Amino acid sequence: MSFKELGLSEPILKSLEDLEHTKPSEIQQQAIPVILAGKNIMAAAQTGTGKTGSFVLPMLEMLHEQAKPYSKNVHALVLTPTRELAAQVRESVHSYGKLTNITSTAVFGGAKIFPQKAKLKKGVDILVATPGRLLDLVNQKAVKLDQVQILVLDEADHMLDMGFIHDIKKIIAMTPPTRQNLLFSATFSPEIKKLAQSLGD
Ligand code: AMP
């Protein structure tokens, strides 16, 4: 199974080639076609399995195929528990998407808010964020989430462990109910299952 057979197209294939990612990992083989078909997924995945590519690659594919009628709006939102993971996911978006016209940024706490606001003002297609800082930015009217088509909860179990559940629920309520939901978690506790169910309401 090649990345091309999974439904990815140039210029994403070219970036993968440059990165010497020759073969999709197990989770990438399973998740990419399902995500490209527009379905919601709930995936059990540890770091190191290629899980980031399993949602970043189809997300880039879907957004790159769209004409961008609302270029100033966020089309895909990735929530992560930590600033380190946010930066890492954004780096993947950047490297896999370097030959597309898709724009992205990461926002997280513990860093100055003004430069983050300035980037958001220019408009980004893919926003990677930690929940608390994202809510601050929404409250300051620096970003709107009403055009989000794809919502990713990355390391959802860590986000719940860190007490982000109320922030996550507030954020979900600001996105359109028609969005596609992608939930990644290393474990599937009853809390995670409850969160997954609430995404479908
Ligand atoms: P992740 O599990 O998303 O944290 O990815 C772990 C590492 O594997 C990262 O350094 C990726 O760049 C790398 N990686 C992801 N997918 C592939 C692939 N299909 N082939 C080779 N390396 C990959």
**For ligand 1, is residue 48 a contact (CB within 6 Å)?**
yes
Taking the CA of residue 3 as reference, the ligand 1 atom at the shortest distance is: 19
Taking the CA of residue 92 as reference, the ligand 1 atom at the shortest distance is: 12
Bridge partners (DSSP) of residue 183 are: 42, 153
pLDDT tens over the chain, length 201 residues: 999 999 999 999 999 999 999 999 999 999 999 999 999 999 998 889 999 999 999 999 999 977 665 567 899 999 999 999 999 999 999 999 999 999 999 999 999 999 999 999 999 999 999 999 999 999 999 999 999 999 999 999 999 999 999 999 999 999 999 999 999 999 989 999 999 888 875
**For ligand 1, is residue 47 a contact (CB within 6 Å)?**
yes
Distance 53 CA to ligand 1 centre (A): 7
CA angle, 173 then 178 then 181, to 5° = 75
Identify the pLDDT of residue 68. 64
**For ligand 1, is residue 53 a contact (CB within 6 Å)?**
yes
**For ligand 1, is residue 8 a contact (CB within 6 Å)?**
no
Identify the pLDDT of residue 45. 86
Identify the pLDDT of residue 67. 63
Within 13 Å and on the Cβ side, how many CA atoms surround 119? Answer: 18
Distance 50 CA to ligand 1 centre (A): 4
Sheet holding 126-129, edge to edge: 41-44, 180-185, 150-153, 76-79, 126-129, 104-107
Distance 26 CA to ligand 1 centre (A): 11
**For ligand 1, is residue 24 a contact (CB within 6 Å)?**
yes
Q: H or E stretch including 157?
A: helix 156-161
C-alpha 83 chain-centroid distance: 14
The total of other beta-carbon atoms located within 10 Å of residue 143's CB is: 24
DSSP assignment letter at 126: E
Distance 90 CA to ligand 1 centre (A): 14
Distance 49 CA to ligand 1 centre (A): 7
Predicted model pTM:
0.96
Bridge partners (DSSP) of residue 42 are: 183
- How far CA 93 is from CA of 40, 67, 136, 165, in Å, comes to 20, 19, 23, 25
**For ligand 1, is residue 133 a contact (CB within 6 Å)?**
no
Identify the pLDDT of residue 186. 93
Distance 24 CA to ligand 1 centre (A): 9
Identify the pLDDT of residue 73. 86
